[in-house]
Chains A and B, each alone.
Chain A
Amino acid sequence: MNDLREQLKEAVASAFSQGRVRSFVCLERGFYPFATMPAILHSGSDADRVEIGLADAPLLAKYLLDMPKPAGIVVRSCDALGVSRLIRDRRVKREDLYIISISCPGVVDTAKIPMSMHRITALEKAGDALIVHTALGPTELPWSSVLLDRCLACVSGAASTDADVVLDDGRGKPPAPVDYSEIDEVEHMAPDERYAMWEKEFAKCIRCFACRNACPACSCRKCSLDLPEPEWLSRAVILPEQFMFHFTRAYHVAGRCVGCGECERACPVGLPLMKLNRKFTRDIETLFGVDDARIPRDVEVLGTFLPDDPEEFC
Chain B
Amino acid sequence: MIRVGVFVCWCGSNIAGTVDVGKVAEEAARIPGVVHVEQNKYTCSDPGQDSIRKAIKEHRLDRVVVAACSPRMHENTFRKCAASAGLNPYLVEMANIREHCSWVHSDMSVSTPKAVDIVRRAVAKVKRCVPLHPSTIPVEKRALVIGGGIAGIQAALDIAEAGYDVTVVEREPTIGGRMAQLDKTFPTLDCSSCILTPKMVDAASHPGIRILTYAEVEEISGYVGNFEVRVRKRARSVDEARCTACGICILKCPTSRDSEFNMGLGTRKAIYMPFPQAVPNKPTIDREICRHFTAGKCGICQKVCPSGAVDFSQEDQVLTEKFGAVVAATGATQFSVEVYGEYGYGRYPDVITGLELERLISSTGPTDGKIRRPSDGKIPKTVVFIKCVGSRDENKGYPYCSKACCMYTAKHAILLKEKIPSASAYVFYMDVRAGGKDYEEFYKRSQEMGTRYVRGRVSRIYPLDGKLIVQGEDTLLGERVEVEADLVVLAAAMVPQPDAPEMARKLGISYNQYGFFSEAHPKLRPVETNTAGVFLAGTCQGPKDIPETVAQASAAAAKVISLFAKSELSTNPNVASVDESLCSGCLWCSNVCPYKAIEEKIITERAGKETVTRTVASVNTGLCQGCGACTVACRDGAMNLLGFTNEQILAEVEALCL
Which residues from chain A sit less than 8 Å from chain B, CB to CB? 89-91, 219-224, 227, 229-232, 252, 299-300, 302-304, 307-308
- Looking at the assembled complex, report how far the CB atom of B58 sits from the nearest CB atom of chain A, in whole angstroms: 32
Tell whether, in the assembled complex, residue A90 and residue B591 are in contact, meaning their CB atoms are under 8 Å apart. Answer: no
> Is B647 part of the contact surface with A, judged by Cβ < 8 Å?
yes
- Nearest residue (CB) in A for B600 is A90
Tell whether, in the assembled complex, residue A300 and residue B636 are in contact, meaning their CB atoms are under 8 Å apart. Answer: no
* A89 to B650 Cα, complex, angstroms: 27
- Looking at the assembled complex, report how far the CB atom of A278 sits from the nearest CB atom of chain B, in whole angstroms: 19
User: Which residue in A89, A230, A232, A299 is a CB contact (below 8 Å) of B584?
Assistant: A89
Cβ–Cβ < 8 Å partners of A252 in chain B = 635
Cβ–Cβ < 8 Å partners of A307 in chain B = 513
* A91 to B633 Cα, complex, angstroms: 16
- Nearest residue (CB) in A for B648 is A230
* A232 to B592 Cα, complex, angstroms: 22
Tell whether, in the assembled complex, residue B587 and residue A221 are in contact, meaning their CB atoms are under 8 Å apart. Answer: no
Tell whether, in the assembled complex, residue A219 and residue B584 are in contact, meaning their CB atoms are under 8 Å apart. Answer: yes
> Is B637 part of the contact surface with A, judged by Cβ < 8 Å?
yes
Cβ–Cβ < 8 Å partners of B636 in chain A = 220-224
- Nearest residue (CB) in B for A229 is B647
Tell whether, in the assembled complex, residue B582 and residue A222 are in contact, meaning their CB atoms are under 8 Å apart. Answer: yes
Which residues from chain B sit less than 8 Å from chain A, CB to CB? 513, 581-588, 591-592, 615, 633, 635-637, 645-647, 650
20 contacts between A and B (CB under 8 A): A89-B588, A90-B586, A90-B615, A221-B583, A221-B636, A222-B636, A223-B636, A224-B582, A224-B636, A227-B637, A229-B647, A232-B637, A232-B646, A232-B650, A252-B635, A300-B588, A303-B591, A303-B592, A304-B591, A307-B513
* A303 to B585 Cα, complex, angstroms: 15
Cβ–Cβ < 8 Å partners of A220 in chain B = 582, 584, 635-636
- Most chain B CB within 10 A, of A229, A299, A303, is at A303
- Nearest residue (CB) in B for A219 is B584
Tell whether, in the assembled complex, residue A91 and residue B584 are in contact, meaning their CB atoms are under 8 Å apart. Answer: yes
Cβ–Cβ < 8 Å partners of B615 in chain A = 90
* A220 to B634 Cα, complex, angstroms: 10
Tell whether, in the assembled complex, residue B635 and residue A224 are in contact, meaning their CB atoms are under 8 Å apart. Answer: yes
Excluding A222-B636, A230-B647, 16 further A-B contacts by CB distance (< 8 Å) are: A90-B584, A90-B586, A91-B584, A91-B585, A221-B582, A221-B583, A221-B584, A222-B581, A222-B582, A224-B582, A224-B636, A224-B637, A227-B637, A231-B650, A300-B588, A300-B591
Cβ–Cβ < 8 Å partners of A223 in chain B = 636
* A304 to B593 Cα, complex, angstroms: 10
* A220 to B615 Cα, complex, angstroms: 13
Tell whether, in the assembled complex, residue B584 and residue A303 are in contact, meaning their CB atoms are under 8 Å apart. Answer: no
Tell whether, in the assembled complex, residue A299 and residue B591 are in contact, meaning their CB atoms are under 8 Å apart. Answer: yes
- Nearest residue (CB) in A for B646 is A230
Cβ–Cβ < 8 Å partners of A90 in chain B = 584-587, 615
* A230 to B579 Cα, complex, angstroms: 13
- Nearest residue (CB) in A for B589 is A303
Grouping DSSP codes into helix (H, G, I), strand (E, B) and loop, the A interface class, with mixed when no group exceeds half, is loop
Grouping DSSP codes into helix (H, G, I), strand (E, B) and loop, the B interface class, with mixed when no group exceeds half, is loop
Cβ–Cβ < 8 Å partners of A231 in chain B = 650
Cβ–Cβ < 8 Å partners of B650 in chain A = 230-232
Cβ–Cβ < 8 Å partners of B585 in chain A = 90-91
- Nearest residue (CB) in A for B637 is A224
Cβ–Cβ < 8 Å partners of B584 in chain A = 89-91, 219-221
- Looking at the assembled complex, report how far the CB atom of A243 sits from the nearest CB atom of chain B, in whole angstroms: 15
- Looking at the assembled complex, report how far the CB atom of B149 sits from the nearest CB atom of chain A, in whole angstroms: 27
* A165 to B615 Cα, complex, angstroms: 29
* A206 to B633 Cα, complex, angstroms: 28
Return the 5 tightest CB-CB contacts between A and B, nearest first. Answer: A224-B637, A303-B591, A230-B647, A220-B636, A89-B586
* A308 to B513 Cα, complex, angstroms: 9
- Looking at the assembled complex, report how far the CB atom of A95 sits from the nearest CB atom of chain B, in whole angstroms: 14
Tell whether, in the assembled complex, residue A230 and residue B637 are in contact, meaning their CB atoms are under 8 Å apart. Answer: yes
* A91 to B635 Cα, complex, angstroms: 14
* A300 to B586 Cα, complex, angstroms: 11
* A91 to B582 Cα, complex, angstroms: 13
* A90 to B615 Cα, complex, angstroms: 9
Cβ–Cβ < 8 Å partners of A221 in chain B = 582-584, 636
- Nearest residue (CB) in B for A217 is B635
* A303 to B645 Cα, complex, angstroms: 21
- Looking at the assembled complex, report how far the CB atom of A272 sits from the nearest CB atom of chain B, in whole angstroms: 23
Cβ–Cβ < 8 Å partners of B581 in chain A = 222
* A307 to B512 Cα, complex, angstroms: 9
Cβ–Cβ < 8 Å partners of A229 in chain B = 647
* A308 to B514 Cα, complex, angstroms: 12
Tell whether, in the assembled complex, residue A91 and residue B583 are in contact, meaning their CB atoms are under 8 Å apart. Answer: no
Cβ–Cβ < 8 Å partners of A302 in chain B = 633
* A252 to B647 Cα, complex, angstroms: 19
- Looking at the assembled complex, report how far the CB atom of A82 sits from the nearest CB atom of chain B, in whole angstroms: 15
Cβ–Cβ < 8 Å partners of B647 in chain A = 229-230
* A222 to B584 Cα, complex, angstroms: 8
Cβ–Cβ < 8 Å partners of A299 in chain B = 591
Cβ–Cβ < 8 Å partners of A303 in chain B = 588, 591-592, 633
- Looking at the assembled complex, report how far the CB atom of A128 sits from the nearest CB atom of chain B, in whole angstroms: 42
Cβ–Cβ < 8 Å partners of A219 in chain B = 584
- Nearest residue (CB) in B for A248 is B635
- Nearest residue (CB) in A for B636 is A220
Cβ–Cβ < 8 Å partners of B637 in chain A = 224, 227, 230, 232
- Nearest residue (CB) in A for B512 is A307
* A47 to B636 Cα, complex, angstroms: 37
- Looking at the assembled complex, report how far the CB atom of B657 sits from the nearest CB atom of chain A, in whole angstroms: 12
- Looking at the assembled complex, report how far the CB atom of A255 sits from the nearest CB atom of chain B, in whole angstroms: 10
- Most chain B CB within 10 A, of A90, A302, A307, is at A90
- Looking at the assembled complex, report how far the CB atom of B549 sits from the nearest CB atom of chain A, in whole angstroms: 26
- Looking at the assembled complex, report how far the CB atom of A228 sits from the nearest CB atom of chain B, in whole angstroms: 11
* A302 to B632 Cα, complex, angstroms: 10
- Nearest residue (CB) in A for B513 is A307
* A307 to B510 Cα, complex, angstroms: 11
* A84 to B486 Cα, complex, angstroms: 63
Cβ–Cβ < 8 Å partners of A232 in chain B = 637, 646, 650
* A299 to B635 Cα, complex, angstroms: 15
Cβ–Cβ < 8 Å partners of B582 in chain A = 220-222, 224, 227
- Looking at the assembled complex, report how far the CB atom of A245 sits from the nearest CB atom of chain B, in whole angstroms: 14
Cβ–Cβ < 8 Å partners of A308 in chain B = 513
- Nearest residue (CB) in A for B645 is A230
Cβ–Cβ < 8 Å partners of A304 in chain B = 591-592
- Most chain A CB within 10 A, of B585, B615, B637, B645, is at B637
- Nearest residue (CB) in B for A251 is B635
- Nearest residue (CB) in B for A303 is B591
* A220 to B582 Cα, complex, angstroms: 8
Tell whether, in the assembled complex, residue B513 and residue A91 are in contact, meaning their CB atoms are under 8 Å apart. Answer: no
* A168 to B587 Cα, complex, angstroms: 35
Cβ–Cβ < 8 Å partners of A300 in chain B = 588, 591
